[in-house]
Structure 1
Amino acid sequence: MAEQKRYRSIIDVHVILERGGEILLLERRGTGYCDGMLHLPSGHLDDGEPVTHGAAREAFEEVGVRIDPDALRLAAVVHHRQHPDLARIGFFFAASRWKGEPYNAEPHKCGKLLWTDPAILPSNTIDYTAAGIRAYLTGAPLTLHGWDGT
């Protein structure tokens, strides 16, 4: 009897840095994926890495701030279907405390940083990112995005 292949999904971590009623977005540049669009500090989880540590690592790599993984609050989980044969699970964490002032730590991947009102996202915000931010604002613990028209 052949062993059935188990489903696997890419795990993403996203960080919502909160300050004065605004959140920080980054403009993608030079990556070949959604260049010119806005997203949160985010990335893929590394093998064997807890999600909170991955989120803190990505925030440091992209915007130079140090966040204690224990200070991250789970804001939402988004199960995102990128296309028919690829899905992702995104953990969106919120942080109101960190060390350092955010700056563009990856200018080869980022055009600029933008503090914005999360309730009025710019039109060029990536849909997947916007779905996570909407879930954060409404308190929805789980959001499906890209499945059957969602």
Structure 2
Amino acid sequence: MQPHTVIDVMIILERGDRILLAERANTGYADGLLNLPSGKVDPGESVIEAAVREAREEVGIDVAPSALRTVHVTHHCNPEGQARIGWFFATSHWQGEPVNSEPEKCAGIAWHRPNELPDNTVPYNAHGIAHYLKGENFSTHGW
């Protein structure tokens, strides 16, 4: 175990009955799998600030902090034994059209039905989305 827990933010961008997923590429972790726009909270940054930043960096949109709804939190343990806290935020309000802003890390973005996620969705993300759809605000995963 590492000495501290990593804090992640995942942004569920909702457009009608679809959510946006990105295909990971060239990162060394979960390449070829689909995940939500997401990332780690930087030192000195709140989870809301991190979500706003990640949405801008990964898919080129501006999300107002007030537009983000906290929909799920999970205490996750990855296969390597690393603990993480995952904050899932949802919104259907943003400025701009989502694009692949990080082509060096992402093979493309596409809209998917959240209740019919592709088999190649990152399990950590699929877990949080499933609990969000059930209205459950907290879970553990991988312990």
Structures share fold, TM-score greater than 0.5: yes
**TM-score relative to the length of structure 1:** 0.91
How far residue 85 of structure 1 moved from its aligned partner, in angstroms, is 3.5
Task: Give 2:24's match in structure 1, choosing from 28, 52, 66.
Answer: 28
Aligned to 1:68: 64
Aligned positions, number: 141
Task: Give 1:77's match in structure 2, choosing from 58, 65, 73.
Answer: 73
Indicate the SS of the match to 1:134: helix
Aligned to 2:132: 136
| Counterpart-to-counterpart distance in 1, 2:103 and 2:51 | 19
| Counterpart-to-counterpart distance in 1, 2:128 and 2:79 | 18
Q: Which amino acid aligns with 2:50?
A: G
Indicate the SS of the match to 2:90: strand
Aligned to 2:39: 43
| Structure 2: 5+ residue stretches without partners | none
Q: What are the superposed Cα offsets for residues 22-65 of structure 1, whole Å, 9 maximum, x if unpaired? A: 00000000001000000000000011111111001001000000
Indicate the SS of the match to 1:77: strand
Aligned to 1:4: none
**TM-score relative to the length of structure 2:** 0.96
Task: Give 1:104's match in structure 2, choosing from 100, 106, 125.
Answer: 100
Q: Which amino acid aligns with 2:17?
A: G
| Counterpart-to-counterpart distance in 1, 2:57 and 2:80 | 30
How far residue 84 of structure 1 moved from its aligned partner, in angstroms, is 5.6
RMSD between aligned residues: 0.9
| Structure 1: 5+ residue stretches without partners | 1-6
Identity between Structure 1 and Structure 2 (%): 53
Indicate the SS of the match to 1:70: helix
Q: Which amino acid aligns with 1:138?
A: K
Indicate the SS of the match to 2:78: strand
Larger Rg: 1
Q: Which amino acid aligns with 1:56?
A: V
2:84 counterpart of 1:88? yes
